[in-house]
Structure formats: structure tokens, C-alpha cells
Structure 1
């Protein structure tokens, strides 16, 4: 048995499928708009880190969504090259809802002024440039 569909029938099927897909509920436990880019409090433009030291990275959680769907990580960047100096905290080692994370500045990092961190989770955002000095 062979079926033949007219162009109008094919277009009607495509339209009905598109409506059904768009009307489908979100995946259980996940908000459609759970992307969140928290404001990084520290480090800021006045921050000076000492290589090899332990420091705190902090961010504002006052407007955090109920659900954050991705694991978090923190990278150290030089000259706006994301993770050029490595990970300060690996993915999944802390929650964005914590509002802070203690990290160790790598002892091998060269002194300079164009450092930043990137806070990853549902969205990646970077701090202002700050300075790292030698131990």
C-alpha cells in the first residue's frame, strides 16, 4: 500500500508537530529560564593576590534561581584567555548557591595585572582584572 500526501497535508503535519513540541512541558525539575550570572564580589579591580596563597572568591547569591542545573567551576585567566592559568576549582566541587569558594593561587603564576577569574555554572561570567604578586 502506498500513501501519497499533498503539499498542504505535509505542511499541516509539520505545523501540528511544531505546536506540539512548543507546548510540551519543561523537563521535570528544570526551569526554562534557569540561566543565572551572579555578580562577582571578589576579586575586584582593587584585589591583589599573592601567588601560592589561599584566597576567597565570592559572588552575590541574592537573586539565585531555585534550581541551578549545571555544576560550577572557577578558572584563573590571564589577558582574558579563559582558563589560561588553569582551574582554581573543578566542575562539581562546589555549588553556586554557596556564594563563595576558597581557592589556592598557583605558586607558578607569574606576577601581573591582567588576571581575572571566570565563574562557571549556568552561565560563565568573569571578574574585573586584578593583580597577582610574587610570594
Structure 2
């Protein structure tokens, strides 16, 4: 049994030393804060708006620059119906068309790419407010 344990530990130490010698390509996680929509935003169903986020301080090596924007309703992410996908999170904005959803002030957006970032809650309505 001792010989088996010694062989196991020798193999483990050899593997660890080998793995430590491999080059490591570090990438940074980038979590750009969403700047629009904000808490005072009102979107009207069918209109197109830019979702914007702050790209200042983006690291040079990002894990995933491919972005996706999804609607959040009452804390639930609609992953099956993204509002936009396949764009670079380094763009800092992307247009979306407001989906046909019930009027509510409980909507938010999540920007996925390198990491998810959620907007403040905002409002979606069916009819533009009168001025």
C-alpha cells in the first residue's frame, strides 16, 4: 500500500510541476456599468433606443467581448428572447427595439459579455406620455 501511495504522490507532484510550467494567459473580467436606461427612463413599446454602458478602463485582455442584452421582468431574465446579441461590448452602446410587454416600472436590462451587469429598474409603456 505504501508503494501505491508513493506512486500516487509522485504522479501528483509531477503533474503539478508540469502544470505550473505551462504558460498562463490571463484575461481580465470586464463589468461595464450600464448608463442608460436609468431609473428615470420611460421606453415606449416598438421604439428603438440605445442601451449604453461605460467602457472606460476596459482591460486589454477581456475574457469575452461578445455581448448580449436581455430584458429582466420582476427579477426574471428572458434568456430565450434576447433584445440584442453578437455585438462587441467594447462598442459602449447597442440599439434595441422595445418589446411588446405589459406596462410596468419593474423592467431592467442585463448586459452579458465578459460578465453580467444589470441596469436600474425603468418603465416600459404602450403609449408615449403627453407633453
Count of residues paired in the alignment? 125
Distance change in 2, residues 1:85/1:76 (3 Å): farther
Matched, 1:86 2:81: yes
The aligned counterpart of 1:41 is 35
Determine the C-alpha separation between the residues in 2 that align with 1:51 and 1:40: 20
Distance change in 2, residues 1:20/1:88 (3 Å): same
Confirm or deny: 8 A CA contact 1:78 1:85 kept in the other structure: no
Greater strand fraction, Structure 1 or Structure 2: 2
Determine the C-alpha separation between the residues in 2 that align with 1:132 and 1:84: 18
The aligned counterpart of 2:91 is 98
Tell me the C-alpha RMSD between the 2 structures: 2.0
Unaligned runs of 5+ in 1: none
Determine the C-alpha separation between the residues in 2 that align with 1:114 and 1:19: 52
Picking from 62, 70, 74, the partner of 2:69 is 74
Picking from 84, 92, 114, the partner of 1:122 is 114
Q: TM-score, normalised by structure 2?
A: 0.85
User: Deviations for 1:79-123, whole angstroms, at most 9, x for unmatched residues?
Assistant: 111126831102x2x1011000111101x2111011000100011
Tell me the secondary structure at the aligned position of residue 68 of structure 1.
coil
Q: TM-score, normalised by structure 1?
A: 0.83
Matched, 1:132 2:124: yes
The aligned counterpart of 2:16 is 18
